[in-house]
Amino acid sequence: MIRRRGPARAVDPALFRSVQPNLSDPNGSPLDVTWLGHSTVLIRTPAATVLTDPVWAERVSPFSFLGPRRWVPAPLALEALPRLDLVLLSHNHYDHLDQATVRRLAELQPGAPWVMPLGLSATLRGWGVRDAIELDWWDVHRAGVIEIGCAPAMHFSARGFRDRNQTLWCGWSIRLGERRAFFAGDTGYHPEFPRIRERFGPFDLLMLPVGAYEPRWFMRPVHMNPEEAVLAYRDLVPDPAESAGVMVPIHWGTYRLTDEPMDEPPGRTREAWRGAGLPEERLWILQHGETRQLR
């Protein structure tokens, strides 16, 4: 079957403006979150700072001259990141694992541990990471005030033609003191979300992918659309009165990977959210670089 893109149309430029991240001292906030584009999220509490899927690449591809190019420049230089207590990787696709980013970040912050699913530690050590920790689904890793849980995801892995599914993929639960977050990584909608909540929740912050979903016949097994992301949220936060349960949509608006218009995911997410009768203030659609505080 052939993939066909719809006719080109203008997109809303307001969705693709960067703002300056707020990296002031988080002592006044129990948790703050900064979206740095695609699946790169900076999560901070007074006790610890965690970064997910760091990708600063101009293109997410094996080639520097070919492949999906950034629509929005990175809103923060790698050199401007605060001291990291942990870096999380969800899997090895180029839009989630970039060699140049890893090498530079390992140089800048050599003491930061990196936690990843099975099979990736040798690659990361070869790129300069000193402390590479592998986990399997449902494993838990504790380091000081941080507790990381490796959660199932419905996806796949590959960086070439001969290594498909040779390494694992996952999402992450992140406990920082009294606060708990969930980073879904890259995933289709699957039946394990309620079990993730039971094992690792309740969650104050949920980072769920909402982009790269068309055409559905091809993408459904590996990428949620906005409506499925809201279903996943309902699985993870069945009673909004039980926890803060703020959802931050990720995996949209930074690289054009699939056929839907670049500005479609946030609008469809809002519509699905309202259709589910969920509180408006619990959906945070962030601009690139935007920081918000969860109190």
Which amino acid does the sequence have at 63? F
Judge contact between 24 and 30, C-beta under 8 A. Answer: no
Mean pLDDT, residues 62-81 taken together = 88
Tens of pLDDT, residues 127-185 = 999 999 999 999 999 988 999 999 999 999 989 888 898 999 999 999 998 899 999 99
Beta-strand ranges (E) seen in the chain are 31-35, 41-44, 49-52, 86-88, 114-117, 132-135, 140-143, 146-151, 171-176, 179-183, 205-209, 246-250, 291-294
User: What pLDDT does residue 28 have?
Assistant: 66
Mean pLDDT, residues 245-265 taken together = 96
Examine the pLDDT at 7 and tell me if it is beyond 70: no
Indicate the average pLDDT of the chain: 92
User: What pLDDT does residue 12 have?
Assistant: 72
Alpha-carbon gap, residue 292 to 280, rounded angstroms: 15
Model confidence pTM above 0.85: yes
Alpha-carbon gap, residue 112 to 165, rounded angstroms: 27
Q: Sketch out the chain's domains with CATH numbers.
A: 14-294 (3.60.15.10)
Cα–Cα–Cα angle for 170, 172, 176, rounded to 5 degrees: 165
The b/e string for 266-281 (b: 16+ C-beta within 10 A; e otherwise) is bebbbebbeeeebeee
Bridge partners of residue 247, in order along the sequence: 206, 283
Tens of pLDDT, residues 35-52 = 999 999 999 999 899 999
